Amino acid sequence: MQQVTHLIDFFIPTHYQLALDIDRQQRHFAGQVTITGETTQADTPIKLHAKDLTITSAMIDGQPASVEHSEDEVSLHVPTLSADTHTITLTYEAAITDSLHGLYPCYYQHDGAKKELLMTQFESHHAREVFPCIDEPAAKATFDITVTTEPGITVLGNMPVQSQQEADDRLTTTFVQTPRMSTYLVALVMGELQHITGQTKDGVEVSVWATPAQAPTSLDFALEHAIRSIEFFNEYF
């Protein structure tokens, strides 16, 4: 049996700073990711997962790096590289497709019109289609995520919104930093949404979100049972 090479054996990420600028109308997005992590071997290229991303610039510790592409990886080269902590910064762009993984549109009907949400599906190995990363479950890191979209929509992520700013007909949403987690758990949803919110008896806030195609009263059932489920498992464990 052929042995699988894990990229985390050579580069261990600890933090991602990710900024996405999404143009829904043009079916295109641009991104910049800064990754802090530790290399385990000196003078060895740093390899990251990246699929269908056009890398426009690459830096390691502020030094320009050359980039070699394979089907779903990029190798970053600089003349000398110590086995130490390094900072990688990549800028890139990509298309939004109907692939049902990575970043893609989800369609629904409302008042006789076709509508859409943009959302992510990264499990099990599709984060690499939205940002260069070590796309392996063992590679846990924290994430600071900022998303720029058209205004007038809701933008959801793993964490609460830290700030929102609107300028030049664009909406920039910044989220609170995540706990350490795998890349496949990063999640985003963007579009026209409604929600209701409640609390467990321990004060945990729970929200249910839906498109406007759903009757507002239909969210009550989901919220009630979500709260009950959280309370049950909190007491059980």
| Mean pLDDT of the 3-20 span | 95
* 229 pLDDT higher than 80: yes
In single-letter form, the type of residue at position 80 comes to T
pLDDT in tens, 42-57: 999 999 999 999 999 9
Q: What is the pLDDT of residues 132-177, one digit of tens each?
A: 999 999 999 999 999 999 999 999 999 999 999 999 999 999 999 9
Q: What average pLDDT does the segment 81-95 reach?
A: 97
Please give the mean pLDDT across all residues of the chain. Answer: 96
For β-strands 205-210 and 170-175, DSSP reports them as unpaired
- Tokens 């502020």 belong to residue: 62
The confidence score (pLDDT) of residue 5 equals: 85
Q: What whole-number distance in Å separates Cα of residue 198 and Cα of residue 138?
A: 34
pLDDT at 1 over 80: no
Residue 2: predicted pLDDT: 65
Architecture of domain 7-192: Sandwich (2.60)
* Share of residues in the chain with pLDDT > 70 (%): 99
Per-position b or e across 123-158, b if 16+ CB within 10 A of its CB:
eebbbbbbbbbbbbeebbbebbbbbbbeeebbbbbb
Q: Does residue 237 register a pLDDT over 90?
A: no
Amino acid at 236: Y
Q: What is the pTM of this model?
A: 0.94
Q: What is the 3-state secondary structure (H, E, C) of 36-77?
A: EEEECCCCCCEEEECCCCEEEEEEECCEECEEEECCCEEEEE
Over the stretch 107-129, which tens digit does the pLDDT of each residue have? 999 999 999 999 999 999 999 99
Q: Report CA dihedral (45, 71, 105, 28) to the nearest 10 degrees.
A: 70
Q: Across residues 53-79, what is the average pLDDT?
A: 96
CA distances from 100 to 49, 146, 171, 235 (A): 19, 22, 25, 36
